[in-house]
A and B are shown apart, each in its own frame.
Chain A
Amino acid sequence: MTTSTNIIEVKNLKKAYHDGLEATVALDGVSFNVRKGEFVAIMGPSGSGKSTLLHLLGLLDIPTSGSYHFEGTNISSFSGNELADLRNRKLGFVFQSFNLLARTSVLENVKLPLVYSGVHESKWDELATRAIESVGLINRINHDQSELSGGERQRVAIARALVTDPEVIFADEPTGNLDSKSGKKVMGIIQDLNEKQGKTVILITHETSTAEHAERIIRLIDGTIESDVKVKNRLTSEDEYVK
């Protein structure tokens, strides 16, 4: 494994929150690398620091100490606007609670990241339509997001994460608010993104069955890495479609 293939390198990452006099340590010295095209699941009980880690990796928050190299660049000196730009171009987010804009159509929701990108407006519709097509919702493109089921909404969120053609997709408990059938379909789509489009995927979950879609599982406890192992009997996206 050489450095050049690592898209993410973190060393001794720490994050502490100050609440009055007391400091809560959420992440206490975490080090690992993620290769380009890898599918990593981060697991752990609540309070283990997995959400904090995702926020740091997703450039939504800055670490208290430690280093973070994204595509070989140390991002610790980046300004808020530079981070926003990097998020827009290189990262895609899928949240547990979908976070779609209310009273807004599927198409407009998917276009949202393009609004903040340098992509020319004439290409927005085409890019968004393609992303919506890839999650199988082309027949719902002009529906208001409130008319969709939970599974469909999460697929809209995936299309939104894809529309800027990012390097890394961050999925924070993407199946947490879904029934098992919709959840499996969503996981199938995420796995396809990894296997067929070569996207790096970082998945946060507390369900082992969901984590087994990944190649590798990092377990966190009390802000430190408890284990970092390869998945032996990995689920495939085809498995899910059959079930």
Chain B
Amino acid sequence: MTIRHLFKTSLTGLSTNRSRSFLTILGIVIGITAIMLVVSLGAGAQNLILGEVQGLGTNTIAIIPGREPTGPTDVSALYSDSLKDKDLTALQNKANVPGLASIMPVVIGASSASYDSNVYQVSIFGATDLMASIFSLVPAEGQFFDQSDVLSFSSVVVIGADVATHLFDTQDPLNQNIKIKGRNFRVVAVLPKSGGGSLFNFDGMVIMPYSTAQTYVTGQKYFSRLITQAVNDSAVPVTADDIRLTLEESHNITDPTKDDFTVQTQQDLANRLGTITSALTWFLVAVASIALFVGGVGIMNIMLVSVTERTREIGLRKALGAKDRDILSQFLLEAVLLTVIGGVIGIFLGSSLAFIVAFALSHFLAINWTFIFPWSGAILGISVSAIIGLVFGGYPANQASKKSPIEALRYE
């Protein structure tokens, strides 16, 4: 039997029972659709998160107070006040960390801000002028505060778009004074709306020099973060090590496992977030695979019915000279064609749905979400459905090929 004729025979077998063939592959279609959707959305989410993270610059190194807890009882990991002025001084010393290009202390707090009778709960972000370049912040109006404002503890603020609308409504906020903790702060710049999809939402933020934030808002003498930049990407690992050693010395720590701070490069963060999203994606793929398995059992069931129903046809083919392997390949190919057709439909449906979701997210929620055609999911889908056809079609096809021609011809 030629391959061409084998295909023809199997396709004829399937098309004589179109509606049943369609219902049979529904399980496979649903399974593959789910897998495609999950893989595509997972890739989209990963892309979004990594894009945000890498947008901060791959030479960025963050120093976070406290170490990663090694377990639920590791309470001492949470030293939130371990980064202080002396650390800043030590790190700024070129002899300690030669690869360090710049360093920005960050102070994070929350407070209510008011203008006239309007009150709005805001996040306070104390930083330096480096903030603008690290986060690529371009004010819609006004100018970001500079180094001299930081040194002189100036009461100046840059406000997010939501803060501006809530406090000033339609008025121009520039050079107006807003009140935080009873003190007046002059608005020097307003940020454009950044949207909800961004990893860092600046819309509800009030940004001021960290020195000002420490003195007048949080009242703390320590930093929430130290954000540093290495001179270039290749200097990141060495610089991160230098930072660690410098801080250990400054904190009198000899055992690195007892560090009361964490040095995190953007690459670390990207890797970690990437690992989390792919683990989540593949977990969901595993769940969706249950549908595929159920679909496979459905295929086997229908193929067994079909083999019984076509007992006479099998007998006739054998009487006319069909060998066992001819019958085996005919029924096996029918099963594989069914599942692969199901797989192709699933790939089409799944990627269409993912495209619609991507379109909706980017157009209606203003999230910077790009549709990704999941090639890995498509290849996986096609091969998994073909394997399901082989595995679940194998038993019925074998039953068919083992029928004796006279028993098959006698069957009514």
Contacts and interface: CB of A to CB of B under 8 A. Distances in A.
Contact of A88 (B9, B12, B321, B409): B321
Most buried by B among A61, A95, A101, A160: A101
Contact of A115 (B1, B318, B325, B409): B1
Interface in B1-60: 1-2, 4-5, 9, 12, 16
Contacts of B86: none
A77 interface: no
Contacts of B409: 60, 95, 99
Contacts of A81: 323-325
B320 interface: yes
B390 to A, nearest CB: 22
Interface stretch (B65-73, B294-302, B309-317, B341-349): B309-317
Contact of A60 (B5, B313, B325, B406): B406
B381 interface: no
Nearest to A116: B321
Main secondary structure of the interface of B (DSSP, over half): helix
B319 A93 contact: yes
A112 B2 contact: no
Interface in A66-85: 80-81, 84-85
A60 B405 contact: yes
B232 interface: no
Contacts of B318: 60, 84
A46 interface: no
Given A101-B313, A115-B5, A115-B9, A93 B320 contact: yes
Contacts of A115: 1, 5, 9, 322
Contacts of A113: 320-321
A contact residues, range: 20 to 34
Interface string A86-120: 01110001010001011110000000110111000
Contact of A103 (B16, B323, B324, B406): B16
B324 to A, nearest CB: 6
Contacts of B326: 116
Nearest to B9: A115
B215 interface: no
A89 B320 CA distance: 9
A121 interface: yes
A117 B405 CA distance: 17
A58 B406 CA distance: 10
A35 interface: no
A85 B323 CA distance: 8
Contacts of A87: 319-321
A36 interface: no
Contacts of B12: 103-104
B313 A116 contact: no
A55 B2 contact: no
Interface string A202-224: 00000000000000000000000
Contacts of A104: 12
B404 interface: yes
Contacts of A80: 323-324
Nearest to A87: B321
Contacts of B320: 87-88, 93, 112-113, 116, 160
Nearest to B315: A99
A116 B317 contact: yes
A97 B1 CA distance: 26
Most buried by A among B320, B323, B325: B320
Interface in A13-70: 55, 58, 60-61
Interface in B141-174: none
Given A85-B323, A99-B409, 9 more contacts: A60-B404, A80-B324, A93-B319, A99-B316, A102-B16, A103-B16, A115-B322, A160-B320, A164-B321
13 contacts: A55-B406, A60-B319, A61-B405, A81-B323, A81-B324, A85-B323, A88-B320, A89-B321, A101-B313, A103-B16, A112-B317, A115-B5, A115-B322
